């Protein structure tokens, strides 16, 4: 008798047996592959899908389902998400699975983190020269988690940098619990995620449209592509932090991140308020949501960053302002400093008459980024070559982020016509606006 041949045949038989069957005795039942399959059984490129060992039914031929949920449409570097694999099959009470996440070249993409060591385990293997990480059931994870269902949950951490599309491959076994590998139902499933494309967003004062210097609680206009899925304006106070799913987060120089109140969103522009408490220094803006992507930019936050609104909402020309006239008898009236010219399709100056010598005429300018000055003496309104007396500068009651500056117009300005107004706060100049003084 050739003992070498006998030993060789026995070795091959044992190897095949170990590869395809691991025994767990539970209630008198023997469960195939209860401790988890060998690596390379997910159905990914270059891999089998458990049919190598479990025979009798074609893959995906049963009436059950295998799903991978929790995979985001887009991933950002080092993002962590919770992923769940669920296998459902009527009449079955034992389930198993294996999953891997790969880039387009077949290499491991990201990191799989075990969060339930009673039901799952992680292992690695080399397929076609590429090291791959897997997560699969362990013996304690073959039991049902619901009627006719098994599920397994874990964390996936995205790669530290974009590797392009990431594909998840899973194979699952709805076992018939007959103690061998025949008659089981094998299913496969895939899911994918794309790298998040971050576009640039530019943010400026919503009053001046010319300064990247912003102040806490000031009103800001951000511009960029695909910022929102449509157009919507906030209709209540306090302002919402989400409109049509679009949100803005402001991370300040101290590392604190806050959601910004939103005035308005559209595909190309979002108006928002720098959140209260934002520290001075460089801040990062992140716009997410309705547009399907992410936009980011940086701004410099200062204690004050004055900007004045204009009648034509472009930061230039006639001021968005009103005149308050106080007469000798104490009566008061408000007058406009602009009027709409249909021929030009824009607002033009409405002359301000300083009136009688006994009249006091106050120009009330509206702006943003002004309220946190250190003292009223640092607020200077120069009108032509004359300084107007600033009597108040600060928030407008009931209006989010809106400031006003009240200036007594000197009678020496009578007859000046169109006149430039230059407002400075703490030495920082706002955009130049105009009024017409008769």
CATH of the domain at 229: 2.60.40.10
pLDDT at 52: 66
pLDDT at 71: 97
Q: Do the domain assignments include residue 8?
A: no
Q: Return the ∠ at Cα 96 (arms to 90 and 98), rounded to 5°.
A: 130
What are 160's two structure tokens?
A: 């530290």
Where a domain ends, among 302, 322, 345? 302
| 379 shares a domain with 263 | no
Q: Return the ∠ at Cα 195 (arms to 193 and 198), rounded to 5°.
A: 140
pLDDT at 5: 33
Q: Do the domain assignments include residue 5?
A: no
pLDDT at 292: 62
| 393 shares a domain with 244 | no
Residues of the chain with pLDDT under 70: 1-33, 51-52, 291-292
| 241 shares a domain with 269 | yes
| 170 shares a domain with 202 | no
Q: Do the domain assignments include residue 2?
A: no
Report the chain's mean pLDDT, rounded to a whole number.
90
Where a domain ends, among 163, 195, 227? 195
Q: Do the domain assignments include residue 14?
A: no
What is the DSSP-derived secondary structure letter of residue 98? E
| 275 shares a domain with 393 | no
pLDDT at 54: 75
pLDDT at 343: 97
| 181 shares a domain with 47 | yes
pLDDT at 115: 98
| 231 shares a domain with 351 | no
- Residue 191 CA, distance from chain mean position: 22
| 39 shares a domain with 183 | yes
| 216 shares a domain with 134 | no
Where a domain ends, among 142, 176, 195? 195
Give CA–CA dist 390/407, Å, rounded: 5
CA distances from 306 to 186, 207, 367, 380, 430 (A): 67, 9, 7, 11, 5
Q: Going by C-beta distance under 8 Å and a sequence separation of 6 or more, which residues neighbour residue 245?
A: 228, 229, 289, 290
Q: How many domains does the chain have?
A: 3
What pTM, to 2 d.p., does this model score? 0.67
- Residue 171 is part of a domain; what is its CATH number? 2.60.40.2550
pLDDT at 33: 56
Q: Do the domain assignments include residue 16?
A: no
Q: Do the domain assignments include residue 430?
A: yes
Domain enclosing residue 49, as ranges: 21-195
| 184 shares a domain with 68 | yes
pLDDT at 37: 87
| 216 shares a domain with 69 | no
| 286 shares a domain with 237 | yes
Q: Do the domain assignments include residue 347?
A: yes
């Amino acid at each position: 008798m050739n003992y070498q041949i006998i030993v060789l045949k026995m070795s091959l038989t044992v190897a095949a047996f170990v590869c395809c069957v691991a025994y767990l005795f539970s209630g008198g039942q023997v469960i195939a592959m209860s401790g988890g399959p060998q690596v390379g059984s997910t159905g990914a490129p270059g891999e089998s899908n458990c049919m190598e060992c479990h025979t009798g039914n074609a893959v995906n031929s049963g009436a059950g389902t295998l799903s991978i949920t929790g995979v985001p449409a887009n991933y950002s570097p080092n993002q962590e998400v919770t992923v769940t694999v669920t296998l459902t099959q009527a009449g079955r009470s034992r389930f198993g699975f294996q999953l891997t996440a790969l880039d387009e070249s077949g290499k491991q993409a990201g990191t799989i983190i075990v969060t339930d060591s009673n039901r799952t385990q992680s292992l690695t293997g080399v397929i076609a020269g590429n090291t791959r990480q897997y997560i699969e059931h362990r013996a304690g994870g073959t039991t049902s988690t619901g009627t006719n269902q098994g599920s397994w949950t874990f964390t996936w951490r995205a790669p530290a940098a974009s590797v392009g599309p990431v594909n998840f491959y899973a194979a699952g076994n709805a076992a018939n619990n007959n103690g061998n590998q025949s008659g089981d139902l094998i299913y496969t499933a895939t899911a994918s995620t794309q790298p998040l494309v971050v576009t640039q967003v530019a943010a400026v004062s919503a009053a001046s449209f010319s300064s990247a210097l912003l102040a806490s609680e000031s009103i800001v206009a951000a511009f960029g592509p695909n910022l929102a899925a449509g157009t919507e304006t906030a209709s209540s106070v306090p302002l919402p932090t989400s409109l049509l799913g679009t949100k803005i987060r402001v991370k300040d120089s101290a590392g604190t991140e806050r959601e910004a109140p939103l005035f308005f969103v559209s595909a190309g522009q979002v108006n928002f308020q720098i959140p209260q408490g934002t520290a001075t220094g460089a801040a990062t803006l992140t716009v997410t949501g309705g547009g399907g992507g992410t936009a980011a930019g940086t701004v410099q936050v200062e204690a004050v960053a004055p900007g004045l609104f204009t009648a034509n909402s472009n930061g230039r020309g006639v001021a968005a302002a009103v005149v308050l006239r106080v007469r000798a008898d104490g009566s008061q009236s408000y007058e406009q400093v602009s009027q709409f010219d249909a021929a030009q399709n824009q607002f033009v100056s409405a002359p301000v008459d300083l009136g009688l010598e006994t009249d006091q005429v106050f120009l009330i300018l509206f702006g943003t980024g002004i309220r946190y000055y250190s003292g009223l003496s640092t607020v200077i309104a120069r009108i032509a070559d004359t300084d107007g007396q600033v009597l108040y500068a600060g928030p407008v009651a009931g209006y989010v982020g809106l400031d006003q500056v009240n200036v007594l117009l000197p009678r020496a300005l009578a007859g000046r016509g169109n006149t430039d107004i230059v407002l400075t706060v703490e030495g920082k100049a706002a955009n130049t606006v105009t009024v017409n003084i008769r």
